[in-house]
Structure 1
Amino acid sequence: MAAPQDGPWLDDAAGRLVRPYTVSNGRTRPTAPLDLLSLVMPTGTAPGGHMGPEHSQALGLCDAGPTSVAEIAAQLRLPAVVTKVLLSDLVDCGALTAKAPAFRHNPTDRSLLEAVLDGLRRRL
């Protein structure tokens, strides 16, 4: 039986009742260039066409401000690639805008790596 907060899509014994790739209509490649650290923000434009409940949930998670693809995937409990497909649908229809991480051109920047290390040390 599903827990009340999980809704009808999760079952304690069986797990997710809807397969992740059903959510993305079998698509495995997003149309927008997104990675796990890309930040997505709502534009205020309502999505056009038919969007599934996961699209609405993803859009709602962005209301608090710029949100990373990784964070949305974790909140939706979906694989990252499925989340990227959902988010790219929302980008394509104008409901979201996406921004690549600032270090995209130099991911081995020493100052960035030191900042990440400092953040990890503070959490541990």
Structure 2
Amino acid sequence: MAHDAERRIINRLDTLLETERKALLHGDLHRISTLVEEKETLIDELNRMTTDAPGDIAALQAKLMRNQALLDGALQGIRNVSARLAAFRQVRRAMDTYDRDGHKHTIPGEVERKVEKRA
């Protein structure tokens, strides 16, 4: 009986990790966030059991590590995009240049705000 419950948890977690992997590869951050709670619950349930399947646990651990690496990569990508967008916003406000003597000069950006009305 306990073995069947353990097998069900392992299978559910394995399926969830594959779903999470697909979501990570497709950039579906909303789907990933919906899986977190279920994944934590399944891992907690599995930790409470004494397992007779170390091979299955090792496979799950490998998938968890793979997904963590994908998630880390996705987060780094988001950080890079955020930094790039911040740099573009900065250039729109002002641009810093340096002359041949190494003195810094700031060129203020011009933001033109106008509303065009069409009939």
Whether TM-score is above 0.5 comes out as no
TM-score, normalised with respect to structure 1: 0.26
TM-score, normalised with respect to structure 2: 0.26
Which entry has the higher C-alpha Rg, 1 or 2? 2
Q: Which has the higher helix share?
A: 2
Q: Which has the higher contact order (CA 8 A, sep 6+)?
A: 1
